[in-house]
């Protein structure tokens, strides 16, 4: 495995661990209404930021895929934009 492949494999592992932790935290949050409002605010901020990056298309695709992964795995949280 070359350096680029190792970096990619490492990044995927880190991303999956982060998504799993986030999903657990979202599921366990005691105030789902406030959480939903804050997540939507943060989602909008991230989308504005990513829209203004040089790698806009790839960054947006990755963000939305990751966002959907966390939200799909948390059925107790009402649907948030997308």
Position 80 pLDDT exceeds 80: no
Per the structure, the complete domain to which residue 59 belongs is given by 3-72
Provide the whole-model pTM: 0.66
The answer to whether position 78 is within a domain reads no
The answer to whether position 50 is within a domain reads yes
Q: If DSSP codes are grouped into helix, strand and coil, which group holds residue 70? A: helix
Residue 36: the pLDDT is 85
Q: If DSSP codes are grouped into helix, strand and coil, which group holds residue 55? A: coil
The tens digit of pLDDT for each residue in 41-69 reads 999 999 999 998 888 888 899 899 888 88
Range 45-48 contact pairs with CB under 8 angstroms and sequence separation of 24 or more = none
Q: How many domains does the chain have?
A: 1
CA distances from 34 to 1, 26, 37 (A): 45, 11, 5
The answer to whether position 39 is within a domain reads yes
Percent of the chain with pLDDT over 90: 35
Q: What is the C-alpha separation between 35 and 77, in angstroms, rounded?
A: 9
The answer to whether position 60 is within a domain reads yes
């Amino acid at each position: 495995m070359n350096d680029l492949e190792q970096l990619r494999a490492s990044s995927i592992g880190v991303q999956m661990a982060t998504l799993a932790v986030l999903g657990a935290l979202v599921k366990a949050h005691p105030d789902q209404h406030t959480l939903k409002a804050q997540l939507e605010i943060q989602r909008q901020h991230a989308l504005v930021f990513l829209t203004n990056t040089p790698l806009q298309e790839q960054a947006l695709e990755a963000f939305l895929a990751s966002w959907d992964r966390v939200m799909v795995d948390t059925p107790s949280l009402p649907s948030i934009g997308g």
